[in-house]
Structures are given as structure tokens and as C-alpha cells.
């Protein structure tokens, strides 16, 4: 699939999913609003019925009662608090009984508490806290019931938690919304896998191209030299014989290094890192690594400065792998330089850590790419600076070996231009 086609498909799919999700939430919002309206209507009807029952009780008990009038009987102070005008005496037990009965009748299966206004004390006298499904559940007063200046005989009802009512009415919408979110999650994960596979495919293609190029050059040179040496006339030219023999040796060394890198990659992929930890002198490792680097192709033209203030400091490290770490970073510093590479290796000590910094004057690494450079096969785009050879395995190896040691590595800007790779070694890994 072409890259642009994949982008269009992802864009259209994202727009479609976003549209469906928006519609779902609009429907859910409208359903919540409608449920709020239903709750208010049912509560109002139930409280009006309670008022009617109270007046009927007073009429039977006392022979008279106030006239029942549904106009302005129930005031909704807030979403949770209602004040009900009775305009007659109120019996607490009768009120409690009818509140429970009418709320059940109208499907308001949720906790509530009520209070009755007392004219003598001019206070709201707390009645009880009623749990859904039982007359009492031991809850204490939660709400501070407000008085009303409009009525003389009235009671207040508060709903501390209306979620049971809303959950019952909206459970189908909740389920469909959760299902949609789950589908979107799997859709997003599928897109992520597709994009990741596409990236891995591109990385694999680049790796194969680089590997083919790296192997083809020495093989071609060895083949050409072998054909020349296979000619008997070469015996009459000893200088040419030694020259082509030297070419074979040099190209064979390059070929061996390339194969070694691929084999190291396979070993690292299996997390089969076997460290041979021993006590080694830091200055000796640095000097040996610089010497080895100077004999390599990238190091021939590089200028190396060592600033080591930690003479006699020993590390608990794998000498072979630690040396390879330094050489890999030095090779990158030399390769990614538009001018003559000038590299400084600086060793210093803090309160709890030892720092080994490799400072170069190269082209630098943009901040947005620094989190990628330790990824396997990743190579920094160099534009028109120069063609940098390699597999993109060096810094991946560096990161894994440093992690295996229990160390850390940080990438910073060199104020004078270039990059600083700072290896951070904790105190447990060094001493004198």
C-alpha cells in the first residue's frame, strides 16, 4: 500500500470515528438531560401525592384539613433539594411512611433524607435518612436543610445520591458508550500496529540496503584482487602482489566487522548480554579505546583530547564492552562531522556519580531526534553533509550495554557546536 493512500485511509477513519464518538456523547448528554427531567417530574408527582395523603390523614384524624391545591405545592430549590408546602400540621411518622411508599411507586429508588419546619423553634427539624430498599440504614444527617419564607407548614426532601436512579435509566447508554470506547481503543491499537509495522518495514528495507552495500563493497574488492592474484603474471610483480594481498586483508577486516555487528545484534535481541565484570582502571580503558579508534578509518583524521582528572580510579565494568561503548560514540562523532573532527573525552566526579563525557564538534543532534538515536536501525538524516555509512546499530548497542551495567547515558548540546554524550556511572560501580 502506498504511503499517501495509507495516510488518507487513516485520516478518513479518524474523522469517522471522531464523528461517531461525538454523536454518541451528544446522545448521551441528551439522555442525561431527559433523565434529569424525568427525575424531577416523578419526584414532583410523588411529593404532591404525599401532600395529598397527609391532608387526607389530618382530615380523618382531626376532622378537618387544609384544602388540597396542586398549584405551587412543590418548589425545586436545587437538583437535589425540594421544599413541599402542606399548609397543615405534619406528622413525622406518617410523612416518612408516605415518602417511602410514593417514591417506590414512582420508581425513585434512591437514598433520601427529610426535615420538617417547626414554627415554635423556627428551625428545620431533621426527620430521618432513608436508604433505598430499607426504612433506615444508620446514616447520619448529611444535608443542611434551608428554611423557606414562602410557607408556614412545609417539609424538605434532599437526595444525597441520585446515581442509582440515573444508572438504572442510562445503563443501556453507558454500556453502548463503553462498548464504543472499547472498539475505538482496538481500532486505535490496530492503526498503531499498522503504522508501526510500516515503520519497521521501512527500517528493515534500509537496513538490508545498508547491509548489502556494506558487504558488497569488500566482497567486490576481494573478488577483484583474487582474480588478479590468480594470474600467474602477478608473480613477476612482487609489489603488486603485496598490494592486492593488502587489499584482501583490509577488505576482509571490514567484512568481518560487518558480520560481527550483525551477530552482536542477534545476541542483543535475545537479551543474551553476558558481562564479564572486573575491576579496571578508567584511564587505561580510555587510552586503549582512543588508540584502537585512531587506527580505524573514522579515527585517522580525528583529533582526540583526553581530560582525565580521575587518575587511579577503578571501575567495576566489562572491559571489552565498555571499550566498545567509547569507540562507537567516537566513531559517530567522527562520522557526523562536517569539518575535521575534534573530540574531547572528559572524566569528572560528582557527589554520587562519575561522569565520562565525549564532546564533539559535529553537526549536532536536534532535540526532537535525541529520543530516537538509541533505537535500533535509526540513523540521523545528514542532508547534504556527507554520506554516512553504517547500520544504525551502534547507539542501540551502547544503550543496552550501559543499561546492563546499571548506568545511564544523556545527550546534551555542546555550547560551542556539536554534541555531548555523557555516561553517568553511580558510586557503587567505581572506587580507588
pLDDT in tens, 74-106: 999 988 899 999 988 888 899 999 999 999 999
Grade residue 138 by pLDDT with cuts at 50, 70 and 90: low
**Whether residue 157 has pLDDT greater than 90:** yes
Q: Sign of the CA dihedral 202, 204, 205, 206? A: positive
pLDDT value of position 45: 92
Mean pLDDT computed over 165-183: 80
Q: How confident is the model at residue 42 (pLDDT cuts 50, 70, 90)?
A: very high
Region of poorest pLDDT, from 121-130, 206-215, 415-424: 206-215
pLDDT at 146 over 80: yes
What number is the average pLDDT over the span 244-265?
Answer: 74
Fold of the 167-269 domain? Helix Hairpins (1.10.287)
369-397 residue pLDDT tens? 777 787 776 666 555 444 555 556 678 88
Percentage of the chain beyond pLDDT 90 is 13
Range(s) for CATH 3.30.565.10 in the chain? 277-431
Q: Tens of pLDDT along 5-33?
A: 777 877 887 888 888 888 888 888 888 88
Q: Where in the chain is the domain with CATH 1.10.287.130?
A: 167-269
- The predicted model gives 170-180 an average pLDDT of 81
For the ranges 21-30, 237-246, 400-409, which has the lowest average pLDDT? Answer: 237-246
| Average pLDDT rounded to a whole number, residues 63-80 | 78
Query: Is the pLDDT confidence value at 194 over 90?
Result: no
Q: Model's pTM, two decimal places?
A: 0.50
What confidence tier does 134 reach under pLDDT thresholds 50, 70, 90? Answer: low
Question: Topology of 277-431 in CATH?
Answer: Heat Shock Protein 90 (3.30.565)
Q: Is the pLDDT of residue 144 over 90?
A: no
Q: What is the mean pLDDT of the segment spanning 358-366?
A: 86
Amino acid at each position: 500500500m502506498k504511503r499517501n493512500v495509507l495516510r488518507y485511509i487513516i485520516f478518513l477513519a479518524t474523522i469517522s470515528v471522531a464523528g461517531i464518538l461525538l454523536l454518541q456523547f451528544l446522545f448521551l448528554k441528551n439522555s442525561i438531560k431527559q433523565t434529569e427531567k424525568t427525575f424531577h417530574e416523578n419526584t414532583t408527582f410523588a411529593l404532591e401525592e404525599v401532600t395529598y395523603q397527609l391532608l387526607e390523614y389530618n382530615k380523618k384524624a382531626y376532622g378537618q384539613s387544609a384544602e388540597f391545591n396542586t398549584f405551587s405545592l412543590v418548589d425545586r430549590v436545587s437538583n437535589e433539594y425540594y421544599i413541599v408546602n402542606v399548609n397543615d400540621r405534619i406528622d413525622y411518622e406518617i410523612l416518612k411512611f408516605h415518602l417511602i411508599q410514593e417514591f417506590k411507586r414512582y420508581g425513585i429508588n434512591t437514598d433520601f433524607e427529610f426535615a420538617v419546619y417547626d414554627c415554635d423553634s423556627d428551625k428545620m427539624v431533621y426527620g430521618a435518612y432513608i436508604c433505598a430498599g430499607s426504612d433506615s440504614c444508620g446514616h447520619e444527617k448529611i444535608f443542611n436543610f434551608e428554611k423557606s419564607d414562602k410557607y408556614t407548614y412545609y417539609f424538605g426532601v434532599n437526595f444525597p445520591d441520585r446515581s442509582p436512579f440515573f444508572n438504572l435509566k442510562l445503563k443501556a447508554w453507558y454500556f453502548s458508550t463503553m462498548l464504543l470506547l472499547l472498539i475505538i481503543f482496538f481500532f486505535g491499537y490496530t492503526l498503531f500496529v499498522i503504522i508501526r509495522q510500516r515503520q519497521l518495514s521501512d527500517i528493515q528495507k534500509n537496513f538490508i540496503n545498508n547491509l548489502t552495500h556494506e558487504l558488497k563493497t569488500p566482497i567486490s574488492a576481494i573478488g577483484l584482487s583474487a582474480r588478479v592474484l590468480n594470474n600467474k603474471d602477478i608473480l613477476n610483480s612482487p609489489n603488486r602482489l603485496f598490494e592486492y594481498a593488502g587489499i584482501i586483508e583490509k577488505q576482509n577486516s571490514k567484512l568481518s566487522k560487518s558480520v560481527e555487528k550483525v551477530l552482536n545484534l542477534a545476541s542483543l535481541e535475545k537479551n543474551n548480554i553476558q558481562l564479564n565484570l572486573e575491576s579496571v582502571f578508567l584511564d587505561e580503558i580510555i587510552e586503549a579505546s582512543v588508540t584502537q579508534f585512531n587506527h580505524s578509518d573514522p579515527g585517522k583524521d580525528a583529533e582526540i583530547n583526553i581530560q582525565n582528572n580521575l587518575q587511579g580510579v577503578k571501575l567495576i565494568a566489562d572491559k571489552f564492552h565498555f571499550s566498545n561503548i567509547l569507540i562507537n560514540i567516537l566513531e559517530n562523532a567522527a562520522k557526523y562531522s562536517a569539518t575535521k573532527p575534534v573530540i574531547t573525552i572528559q572524566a569528572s566526579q560528582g557527589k554520587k556519580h562519575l561522569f565520562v563525557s565525549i564532546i564533539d564538534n559535529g553537526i549536532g543532534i536536534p532535540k526532537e531526534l535525541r529520543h530516537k538515536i538509541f533505537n535500533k536501525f535509526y540513523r540521523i538524516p545528514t542532508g547534504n553533509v556527507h554520506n554516512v555509512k553504517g547500520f544504525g546499530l551502534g547507539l542501540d548497542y551502547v544503550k543496552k550495554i550501559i543499561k546492563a551495567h546499571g548506568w545511564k547515558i544523556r545527550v546534551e548540546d555542546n555550547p560551542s557546536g556539536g554534541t555531548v554524550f555523557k555516561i553517568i556511572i553511580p558510586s557503587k560501580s567505581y572506587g580507588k
